[in-house]
Homo-oligomer: A and B are copies of this chain.
Amino acid sequence: MSRLQFEIEARDGAARAARVTLPRGGFDTPVFMPVGTLATVKALEVGELEALGVRVVLGNAYHLALRPGTDVVQHCGGLHRFMGWPHLLLTDSGGFQVFSLRALMRIDDAGVAYRSHIDGSPHFLDPETSMAVQAALGADIAMAFDHCPPADAAPAAIEEAMERTTRWARRCLAVERPPHQVRFGIVQGGTDLTLRRRHLEAIAALPFEGFALGGLSVGEANERMHEVVAEVAPRLPEGAPRYLMGVGRPEDLVRAIGAGVDMFDCVMPTRNARNGQLFTAEGRIVISNARHRLEDRPIDEGCGCKVCARYSRAYLRHLYVARELLYSRLATLHNVHVVVELVRQARAAIRCGRYAAFAAEFFARRAAADRG
């Protein structure tokens, strides 16, 4: 019996509503997973995530291995106990980070030599080490260690990264894992549809419990990304979760769910919040703007989050301008609520067979606000 149960409850076009069940918990899809890079979703407490209905959170092997160190997390009973999170954890393998943080020193089939982005100290990561770290952290879902080339890489470099990612995927699968852990493979291939389909076939042939699209939202045009998602997502194995890595803008979620993606993560809702950008049904507002100074109304009148129930834009602007710690917390709580709620509504629409109408309404509201 598989460690991961994936039950599709409804389909609507390419979109699906499903239930993922793992040895230590489960979640409904489509799902947005908040990012808790350093064993905390920045500014939020685990109880708040739980109250938002979140049941799976991301951690990051690269970051946690540097700070606080794998030994600390392991000594404290694993990442769940360390951060007080009783539900599921997905950990990223570190592949994306060693490339994106420009820490890269040398890469070959053996692995990646890189410098810590904190103190410049030299480190080495390979498939075996990454899986060992993810095992030590106690992740419920471990991601394969992949080679993620930049958006502007030449086709030959993208092909090389694809083939290395496939070889590394086999090595990841050969590593012993904790009894509760499942592993997801990552499809690379840049924005070239032929390469994407080729790599999809290679990765889909391996015994992963789930499949991710990596190497997107890394600088390519947004339209190009959606073309790739529309082409590749529906071809990922039907009976397993499909995960689009690093994507979480509301408008991107709505489109990618329509293309058949089940899982998402992104730092954007949390990072935008801290930077003063708050989500509303009509688009983003910039809370520092002087027009919010005397605005005694919530961020979004239609929002059901506890921040909108209690606090005004004027108060949030004041906290932001005064650099008060409470600002980041309230702003993050709101933005995560918006994204989690959007995905929940998308799921409900799929189950009612009205996803196309749901997506059309979402974009019509945005367009009306843009015109207004």
Interface residues of A (CB under 8 A from B): 38-40, 42-46, 67-68, 71-72, 75-77, 82-84, 274, 293-294, 296, 310-312, 314-315, 317-319, 321-322, 324-326, 328-330
Contacts and interface: CB of A to CB of B under 8 A. Distances in A.
Among A71, A77, A324, max chain B CB count under 10 A is at A324
Closest 5 CB pairs of A and B: A68-B318, A43-B325, A84-B310, A76-B296, A40-B326
Given A39-B315, A322-B67, A296 B329 contact: no
B77 A296 contact: yes
Given A312-B76, A325-B328, A318 B39 contact: yes
Nearest to A296: B76
A119 to B, nearest CB: 12
A209 to B, nearest CB: 29
25 contacts: A38-B318, A38-B319, A38-B322, A38-B324, A39-B318, A39-B319, A40-B326, A42-B325, A42-B326, A46-B310, A67-B322, A68-B317, A68-B318, A71-B294, A75-B294, A75-B296, A76-B294, A76-B296, A76-B314, A82-B312, A84-B310, A84-B315, A274-B325, A325-B325, A325-B328
Contact of A45 (B76, B84, B326): B326
Given A76-B312, A294-B75, A321 B68 contact: yes
Contact of A318 (B67, B296, B314, B321): B67
Q: Please classify the interface of chain A as helix (H, G, I), strand (E, B), loop, or mixed, using the class held by over half of its residues.
A: helix
Contacts of A75: 294, 296, 314
A321 B326 CA distance: 20
A324 to B, nearest CB: 5
Contacts of A326: 40, 42-45
A321 B118 CA distance: 12
Contacts of A38: 318-319, 322, 324
Contacts of A296: 75-77
Among A75, A274, A315, A321, max chain B CB count under 10 A is at A315
Given A44-B326, A72-B293, A311 B84 contact: yes
A311 B82 CA distance: 7
A44 B329 CA distance: 9
